[in-house]
Amino acid sequence: MYNKRPQEAEDIIYGVRAVIEAIRSKRPINKIFIQKGMNKELFYELKEELADQKYNLQFVPIHKLNRLTRKNHQGVIAQVSPVEYHALTPIITKLFEEGEVPLILILDRLTDVRNFGAIARTAECNGVHAIVIPHKDSVSVTSDAVKTSAGALNKIPVCLTENLSSVVHNMQQLGLQIVASTEKTKNNVFDVDFTVPTGIIMGSEENGVSAKLLTECDVKAKIPMTGTIASLNVSVAAGIMLYEASRQRLTE
């Protein structure tokens, strides 16, 4: 059963049986919303399917489910992805094998789907090889995100991870430098060498790059500003970072 809402028809599957079948068919699922306190017989079958699987489960009051659909959701709604998610390591390994210089974009807890779509569009235009997003506390790939990206999310691989720190460490082990975009540094982004294999971290709209990732990155870089407003919109900042990387690689 699919909810036929005008904007996100393909993003929602509702009903216990429909969600179970989506899990069994390995369909990419962003989140599963489950009614708090649900204790129905069908739910036990769903619990068995979810055992030992790493899905983003959110237990919510019934009124939230009712806002997502007016249909008979039976206390369970899954938000599915319109694209397949990818593993990052094989992408990087293949790039090195083909003589490419990896450029990976890491999005740390972005929450605005319009920012996500705009960043993905800029990333695709600048030769980014993959985008990494965390499984929780983050935007995910929805039909709205795909539309906002002008279809870029259909072209650029998106990698979903449980732990950004582990991904950063793995990228460093593979030979990539990790550059965090932050105002908490004296280093100018235009002085960073982006011609080497690089992963760029862009932080959340409210808090920027997390303190943990800032301690784990190799380089911190700020975008110089002369105005009085303290920070840029994250999609604009990402554009500046990516265009600098592209500029250096085109003129190398």
With the C-alpha atoms ordered 235, 27, 55, 6, is the resulting torsion angle positive or negative?
positive
Q: Give the number of residues written for the chain.
A: 252
Domain stops at, among 51, 80, 109? 80
Quote the CA–CA distance of 136 and 215 in Å, as a whole number: 21
Q: Look at residue 2 and tell me if it is in a domain.
A: no
Q: What is the pLDDT averaged over residues 67-94?
A: 92
Same structural domain, 18 and 104: no
Domain containing residue 23: 9-80
Q: How far is CA 181 from CA 58, 204, 247, in A?
A: 30, 11, 17
Same structural domain, 227 and 115: yes
Contacts made by residues 24-28, CB under 8 angstroms, sequence distance 24+:
24/49, 27/80, 28/80, 28/81, 28/83, 28/84, 28/85, 28/141
Q: How confident is the model at residue 40 (pLDDT cuts 50, 70, 90)?
A: low
Higher-scoring residue by pLDDT: 245, 1: 245
163: CATH: 3.40.1280.10
Tell me, what's the pLDDT at 229? Answer: 81
Complete edge-to-edge strand list for the sheet that includes strand 130-134 = 158-161, 130-134, 103-107, 198-202, 177-181, 219-221
60: CATH: 3.30.1330.30
Q: How confident is the model at residue 2 (pLDDT cuts 50, 70, 90)?
A: very low
C-alpha of 247 from chain center: 25
Contacts of 99 (CB under 8 A, 6+ apart): none
Written as one letter, the residue type at 222 is K
In the predicted model, is pLDDT for residue 1 greater than 70?
no
Domain stops at, among 59, 80, 101? 80
Q: What is the pLDDT of residues 142-178, one digit of tens each?
A: 888 999 999 999 999 999 999 999 999 999 999 999 9
Percent of the chain at pLDDT exceeding 90: 65
Same structural domain, 100 and 73: no
The candidate with the shortest Cα–Cα distance to 82, out of 113, 111, 119, 59, is 113
Tokens of 166: 């582990």
Q: Look at residue 145 and tell me if it is in a domain.
A: yes
Same structural domain, 247 and 140: yes
Residue with tokens 């919303």: 33
Domain stops at, among 48, 80, 112? 80
Tell me, what's the pLDDT at 7? Answer: 39
Q: Look at residue 4 and tell me if it is in a domain.
A: no
Q: Look at residue 172 and tell me if it is in a domain.
A: yes
Same structural domain, 74 and 93: no
With the C-alpha atoms ordered 222, 247, 85, 3, is the resulting torsion angle positive or negative?
positive
Contacts of 121 (CB under 8 A, 6+ apart): 148, 149, 150, 152
Same structural domain, 218 and 183: yes
Tokens of 225: 């500003």
Q: What is the pLDDT averaged over residues 5-21?
A: 72
